[in-house]
Chains A and B, each alone.
Chain A
């Protein structure tokens, strides 16, 4: 805590000095603004601000709390199965969670999650949904045919290494032969693990990960850090390790030593979707990122979704759950009497909301969240650079960020004029709690000081091209599957429904923050609700 205090006061002091001495930042003339999920609303909950007493009450059959992908997916499932008496509450003024997106006159752009890969073929629920939203247009020889406008256009990826942009993200340009061999060996191993099955006949690594094999040969890898696993397997090429660390940062917001080996391998071996016109690792993406899928999830929920609505207390009363709700727009409180609750909230929020319930077996401390910074940068244009041309994903070797994505990449219109790039920076250099506090403490000028130099390294003189920057800070960006978390007790116990009345669905209950898991979690909770009607 002392370190956190020191870092934050350092940042605040630095901010004060800037105020006193304007012009001390070289980037102060770049128009920038700082945004983030509505932390002030969230902190009403944390800081126990006193709210008005509920003035009235109404009944709802099933109440879904949380409008991220898992909540929306749960609501969609209820609706799809004929249940009409349900409502979804979202704290922010916009649903979508990590799949939220922004829009300017230049383009739509993601604020968080921005791609999926073809669904694993056994994942029927997901394939149905992809068909529903025209991501899968039809089937050819029983294989899904993905919408060609959503398959990442060529060129897909490039890496800045040894002074040049090369095609693809796996280091190749100017890499010694031994390193190349090791990279090849690793990728061959992953190809093998992708289809390996445990003694129960299930895939060792599957999506949703709950469908993975229970075979201890594989599950025990969860108790090892990914970095230790790599050491044991004699993977030590700095180029390979850089690539793997990049992958962990990209998907889990953490470095190799903070991630379990099982989760690290799952990143590579979990995706095995076969498609008529795509590979299992093919990227499916949109200018607005997963906002595209999110909007389609929301499409049929009209009348059921209430945003800007804060839940601040949940109590049990006989066969009902009494939920105290504060309408942030009307600034009034009311109560909802619900038969069933689906908690589609991250566990650090669930913990606060369920403070009146005993869940002794749930260890909330076991949930670690990685903080992130996302910057959407509007550029007047982007000059060509030596080597591979501008791609969808653009990464530089050995830099703090995981690079940037060209938000306009899936545009079919000709290039010309302004464009938006979305830059992703996982804040994983410090302990997550310190990094989170530090992230909240920084102002937009301080973020510019961090982000612009790296962009200048990628593209010299890019600063003159910057029209505007929108920073988005995700304090709890994504769950990090730390050692022992995926197959450990905290996750298992936190998934258990409470008294046939409260059900849980959120990507952090999978341990891996990807669209597919959130989507699965929502359906899982909704199915449990539907089942429970028969039982009670």
Chain B
């Protein structure tokens, strides 16, 4: 017997052990990125993983003949499953309702396969060493591999390669072990050619995954965000990016922050309650934009509201907020409520064809940073929306920051007035955004401030409402033009005013 061979097998132990721990770490990290609460995630992942390894070890007794060949097949399988696991989890994160089932399924599968490795290896080596030497050597290499993995994972792999590439790299190493064993034990393995080509093909496949990892997951911009990107997708209309740091989730559309989960309640309460609390009879509500369902969440706090229509251009947005667990817990499953009808349509076109009228209308579009969105802030658009508003109804428009962009803010106000609406501008402080502005507009000429607000609010009260309605000098009203389709002054003001800040 060749003396080199035991050395090859011991090297395999080392690599296999490193890979095994890396998969475990990847799964734990991914789970805490995507699901939050890292202590729980890490301990459950480690528990499930170790338990699965136990199952694997127990199962190993059922492998009787051709143990070498089984070992090679298991190596290939571990390499593939481990290599693609993080890609799979990232890609399916948005669309799978029970993400946890997939996550723990993958963790268990990897655990079982890894659990099989060491017992099988020991049986391969049992005739080549004395038992005490065997145990000491195998476990020494096993634990050294684990140490190496636990050191390079946080220090080298995550900062330089990222989760997805790391997984592919160790998948490749795992399959390489299979190939190495194939080459060295040619004579002892039946159908060695088949196993050899299978491992070569798997290595090539994983290599492709490694090279195109960024394309597959679209994480190329991860460098431009401070927090970890946990989801990103380009729809036909925009690029949606979700990041997470600690417990805080942030949503970016085309690079612009839409909300931060730790203070979005300030924004959405301010957007909804000043208007809706003043309409105790409101039954029908329309929301344009706001595909995150957070404004809907606030509206659903009013039992008198019977029907909510949400019009958002992007199905990618609304379905993300209808399916993903983490986001569902943020919007309280608002978009799944029976009262809510989600329409994926272009707001302008939809509104133009609409005949129904509403008691309360929320207009929550992205900021007017380009001509395409700018159209939704024009007098032409507002005069259509006016037709959809019941005589006693109120509409509210998110109107950018009156502090950073006072001209833009007061342009929205002026444009609303130009179509014959009476306006009530107000503002509040949202830490992620800064001082933010909203404008209520109505056909009737007065707005009666609510005497009290519903109880389950974190920000708005009668007292804070007084402050919101008051505009200090640095945000006071300025003279501007009306924003029209053929002048789009708002886009220009907005660009100028924000350029000096960003």
Binding site for B on A (CB under 8 A): 148-149, 151-156, 278, 282, 389, 412-417
Contact = CB atoms under 8 A, between A and B. Distances in A.
A152 B488 CA distance: 11
B380 interface: yes
B372 A415 contact: yes
A415 B366 CA distance: 14
Nearest to B352: A412
A435 B367 CA distance: 50
From B236, B237, B381, B485, residue with most partner A Cβ within 10 Å:
B485
B346 interface: yes
A154 B373 contact: no
Contact of B349 (A148, A389, A412): A412
B348 A412 contact: yes
Interface residues of B, number: 22
Contact of A416 (B237, B352, B484, B491): B237
Contacts of B95: none
A152 B486 CA distance: 6
B348 A413 contact: yes
Given A414-B237, A414-B372, A155 B488 contact: yes
B347 to A, nearest CB: 8
B380 A149 contact: yes
B256 interface: no
A389 B380 CA distance: 22
A416 B236 contact: yes
B487 interface: yes
A412 B372 CA distance: 8
A155 B371 contact: yes
Contact of B485 (A151, A389, A417): A151
Contacts of A412: 346, 348-349, 352, 375, 380-381, 485
3 pairs of A and B residues whose beta carbons are closest in the complex: A154-B488, A412-B348, A413-B346
B313 interface: yes
Given A148-B379, A153-B486, A156-B486, 7 more contacts: A148-B380, A154-B488, A155-B371, A412-B346, A412-B485, A413-B346, A414-B313
Interface in B368-396: 370-373, 375, 379-381
A154 B348 contact: no
Contacts of A154: 371, 484-488, 491
Contacts of B486: 148, 151-154, 156, 278, 282
Contacts of B373: 414
Contacts of A413: 346, 348-349
Contact of A414 (B346, B485, B487): B346
Contacts of B347: 414
A473 B425 CA distance: 56
Nearest to B484: A148
Contacts of B348: 412-414
A153 B376 CA distance: 13
A417 B375 CA distance: 18
Contacts of A156: 486
A153 B488 contact: yes
Contacts of B236: 416-417
Contacts of A417: 236
A416 B315 CA distance: 13
Nearest to A384: B370
B485 A153 contact: yes
Contacts, number: 52
A151 B380 CA distance: 12
A151 B313 CA distance: 25
A53 to B, nearest CB: 54
A412 B485 CA distance: 9
Nearest to B346: A413
Nearest to B238: A416
Interface string B312-323: 010000000000
Contacts of B237: 414-416
Nearest to A282: B486
Contacts of A148: 379-380, 484-486
A273 to B, nearest CB: 15
Contacts of A415: 237, 372
Contacts of B485: 148-149, 151, 153-154, 412
B371 A389 contact: yes
Nearest to B485: A153
Nearest to B492: A154
Contacts of B371: 153-155, 389
Contacts of A155: 371, 488
A515 B488 CA distance: 28
Nearest to A413: B346
A500 to B, nearest CB: 47
Nearest to A146: B486
A416 B239 CA distance: 12
Interface in B429-474: none
A1 to B, nearest CB: 50
Nearest to B235: A416
Interface in B338-357: 346-349, 352
Most central of A148, A153, A156 by chain B CB within 10 Å: A153
A416 B371 CA distance: 13
A521 B488 CA distance: 37
A389 B372 CA distance: 11
23 contacts: A148-B379, A148-B486, A149-B485, A151-B486, A152-B486, A154-B371, A154-B485, A154-B487, A154-B491, A155-B371, A278-B486, A282-B486, A389-B371, A412-B346, A412-B348, A412-B349, A412-B375, A412-B380, A413-B346, A413-B349, A414-B372, A414-B373, A416-B237
B474 to A, nearest CB: 29
A282 B486 CA distance: 10
Nearest to A151: B486
Contacts of B488: 153-155
Contacts of A414: 237, 313, 346-348, 372-373
Contacts of B372: 414-415
Contacts of B370: 389
A168 B486 CA distance: 14
Contacts of A389: 370-371
A380 to B, nearest CB: 11
Contacts of B352: 412
Contacts of A416: 236-237
Contacts of A153: 371, 375, 485-486, 488
Nearest to A381: B236
Contacts of B491: 154
Nearest to B487: A154
B16 to A, nearest CB: 46
A126 B85 CA distance: 69
A416 B347 CA distance: 14
A389 B375 CA distance: 15
A356 B380 CA distance: 56
Contacts of A152: 486
A138 to B, nearest CB: 13
A149 B486 CA distance: 9
Contacts of B349: 412-413
Nearest to B365: A414
A467 to B, nearest CB: 15
A21 B350 CA distance: 52
A5 to B, nearest CB: 50
Contacts of A278: 486
Nearest to A284: B486
Contacts of B380: 148-149, 412
Nearest to B236: A416
A52 B370 CA distance: 61
A206 to B, nearest CB: 26
A409 to B, nearest CB: 10
A347 B408 CA distance: 55
A154 to B, nearest CB: 4
A278 B486 CA distance: 9
B240 to A, nearest CB: 14
A449 to B, nearest CB: 32
Interface string B221-243: 00000000000000011000000
Nearest to B237: A416
